[in-house]
Amino acid sequence: MTTPLALMPAIKDRETAFSYVSRMAAMNGVDTAGFCTDMGLSLTKIINGVPEDLMKLAALCDSDVEDLKRWTPLYFGNRAHTFRGHRVHAKAIKDTTVRGCPVCLREDAEASPDNDTGEMYIRGHWLFRPVSLCVKHHHPLVPLWSERQVTLRYDSASRLAEIAQDVRSEKLDTKLREPREYDQWIEARLLDQRTSSWLDQFELYAAAHFCELLGRAILAFWHPKSNKFTPEKDWLSFDMGFHFANKGEDRIRTALTELQTGIGEPTDGPKKKFGALYDRLAFDLKGEEYAPFRKLLRDHITATWPLGPGDDLMGEPVLERRVHSVRTAARELGMDPRRLRKLLVDVDLVRPIETGKDDQWELFDAKKAQPHLDRLNTLVSAKDFQSALNMSRNQFELLREEDYFAPAVDNGDHKPLWDVRAAHKFFEKLLTGAEPIYVPMHNWGDLPKIAQSLQISPGTILSFLERGKVQRVGRHMTREGYRAILVTHDEIERLLNRPDAPGISIELFARQCGLKPSAAMRLVREAHIPSTEGRHPKSGVPQRFLAPADIAAFHDRFVTLRGLAVELGLSWQALRPKLADAGVEPFSPDGQDYGALFERGAANAVQLSTSAKEVPPKKKDDKT
């Protein structure tokens, strides 16, 4: 059993275990890490609130272990902690900067005027990121020190000794501010006191974090993004978000509606309008504690945003449209929004432009309106059809040749007419689940661009899309219709499954054997060597290749200067005069220039002549 120490301080109100053990070490005149080692403790485990080490520490100071646990963050794995009975992430409780109230610390110091640090200690609630104010003294929490190494960061007695003079001289003091409703709420929740706030039903840190994200989105509406708040002003985001979230769902939805109608255009999308509130809830904050806030945001967007198939909502594809705006309905119908709005006003689906909202935000129930939309005339001429679908005449004609976009009306009594709505539905089906792309980069491209680069028809790509062969489909967020469909060059090229070439190209063959490409082409064209007809593996255009048999036939009949030099073991510079001495001329029927190319028969004569000269004559035996 551990014997209590003779010199030990009393545990203070809201003091953390690491602050207490650091003060105990200082009182006994040793450093904290060494003290823990001597006492059979682990400073790291005390910082993490490991129960076994807290029990040993409680035995040393002859106190209740619950007093040590009460305001100490308790680590339980995967960067998660419990603090005051609430689950919190390490980012919320273990920042590299330790904050505190200088007025509290000064009161601690003044309690023992003979000691520089006096009774200064670290309060647990100072560690909790959503806390930004000392409600006792109305003083904002200020940075005391920053340290990345954990054991040095929480050796608080040593760190406090370094700033003791600044504390006493009020150098760390800053302007006071009255506690806001948010500050009172955080304080009450940490003391396990319930309030009348709607947020009390949720996990404390998740609720506070949601307030921060909501507040940041609201403040961004009033302040330029370039004018970012300093860390000392972070409390404004928490306070602003709490002002709205505290009142419940209806007040939050009202704030979200004001944001989405007051910033940018509907085509900007919820991600751009809500910023970090959307991004964090959609992609990062996936825990169950955030589920109510994710659902609230998603339900609001679904009910108030004219999203349809092909759009993305919080990382998931929209499969069914719930609401239309005058603008989205006009786009699908290929109709002038002004004309459509008048027709919708007649059936009491929307309000007149004088009393309603802008076409982009004048919403109506898509399912309820569908019978009326079905009765509207959506048949247009070819020119208007192309314009409505953002399609060039050339692309339209190419697709028509492959039986796409047949006219809805095509008889002798009337000029052909096309159904714009059917075409839009066709495109929307292709775009279901598509990736939102604002600026196409890398090998993304629209159908005309990819078709041209691969020398195929746009209908070929549409066929792949219809059959679900294309895995990566993008939606250009600043375009509509046909030009909004994006695919990747590499995937379409793989899907073409073009056959391999029957041999190597004539240009490659020329480089391999040391001929000029023009000479090699002339040999093929004049039928001096055989070749094989095939199609280019990418373009599909017919062209001549040299198959292995063709290449063998070339080497049977011809040899290049470089090739003959290798065979004879000579340099080509030494070989040239030997060829001239033997009267061997380059192959040149009808005066055509094929470069340093020789027929095998003539070259063999040089080879025999050279071989004969290299055989030395036999010496006669000397007779004595």
CA distances from 308 to 312, 329, 425, 519 (A): 9, 11, 11, 61
Determine the Cα–Cα distance for residues 70 and 123; give it in Å rounded to an integer.
Answer: 11
- Give the Cβ contact number of residue 244 at 10 Å: 19
Q: Residue 377's pLDDT is what? A: 62
Percent pLDDT > 90 in the chain is: 44
For 278-333, how does the pLDDT look when each residue is reduced to its tens digit (9 = 90+)? 999 998 998 999 999 999 999 999 888 888 887 888 888 888 888 999 988 888 88
CA torsion through residues 265, 266, 268, 269, sign: positive
Q: Using an 8 Å Cβ cutoff, are 256 and 297 in contact?
A: yes
* Backbone angle region of 314, left / alpha / beta, with phi > 0 → left and psi within -120 to 50 → alpha: left
The mean pLDDT value of the chain amounts to 86
Comparing 180 with 222, the larger pLDDT belongs to 180
CA distances from 285 to 255, 278, 280, 282, 326 (A): 21, 10, 6, 7, 34
Scan for tokens 């539905």, then name that residue.
425
| Average pLDDT value for residue range 270-284 | 89
Closest CA relative to residue 424, chosen from 351, 510, 352, 332: 332
Scan for tokens 């192309």, then name that residue.
386
Determine the Cα–Cα distance for residues 347 and 354; give it in Å rounded to an integer.
Answer: 17
Phi and psi torsions of 316, nearest 5°: -125, 145
- Beta-strand runs (E) in 4-79: 74-77
Q: Using an 8 Å Cβ cutoff, are 143 and 167 in contact?
A: no
For 167-214, how does the pLDDT look when each residue is reduced to its tens digit (9 = 90+)? 999 999 999 999 999 999 999 999 999 899 999 999 999 999 999 999
The CA-CA-CA angle for residues 438, 444, 445, to 5°, reads 95
Closest CA relative to residue 293, chosen from 219, 194, 221, 206: 206
**Least reliable range by pLDDT among 111-115, 251-255, 348-352, 478-482:** 111-115
Q: How many CA atoms lie within 13 A of 2 on its CB side?
A: 19
Separation of first and last alpha carbons in the chain? 118
Q: Using an 8 Å Cβ cutoff, are 594 and 588 in contact?
A: yes
Identity of the amino acid at 364: F
Closest CA relative to residue 534, chosen from 575, 506, 564: 506
Percent pLDDT > 70 in the chain is: 91
Determine the Cα–Cα distance for residues 430 and 81; give it in Å rounded to an integer.
Answer: 46
Residue 562, pLDDT > 80, answer no
Where in the chain are the domains?
17-168, 181-305, 386-497, 504-613
What residues contact 361, with CB distance under 8 A and at least 6 apart? 261, 266, 325
Comparing 22 with 356, the larger pLDDT belongs to 22
- Band (pLDDT 50/70/90 cuts) for residue 159 is very high
Determine the Cα–Cα distance for residues 306 and 92; give it in Å rounded to an integer.
Answer: 36
Q: Residue 242's pLDDT is what? A: 97
Comparing 615 with 61, the larger pLDDT belongs to 61
For 507-519, how does the pLDDT look when each residue is reduced to its tens digit (9 = 90+)? 878 877 778 888 8
Q: Using an 8 Å Cβ cutoff, are 377 and 383 in contact?
A: no
Q: Residue 536's pLDDT is what? A: 67
Q: Residue 11's pLDDT is what? A: 93
CA distances from 151 to 15, 70, 73, 125, 154 (A): 17, 21, 15, 19, 5
Closest CA relative to residue 482, chosen from 378, 392, 407, 384: 392
**Least reliable range by pLDDT among 158-162, 247-251, 578-582:** 578-582
Q: Residue 1's pLDDT is what? A: 41
Q: Residue 615's pLDDT is what? A: 43
Q: Residue 624's pLDDT is what? A: 35
- Give the Cβ contact number of residue 313 at 10 Å: 19
Residue 226, pLDDT > 80, answer no
504-505/80-83 β-pairing: unpaired
For 396-438, how does the pLDDT look when each residue is reduced to its tens digit (9 = 90+)? 999 999 999 998 767 655 578 788 888 988 998 888 878 888 8
| Average pLDDT value for residue range 556-562 | 85
For 60-98, how does the pLDDT look when each residue is reduced to its tens digit (9 = 90+)? 888 899 999 999 999 988 889 999 999 999 999 999 999
What residues contact 28, with CB distance under 8 A and at least 6 apart? 5, 7, 35
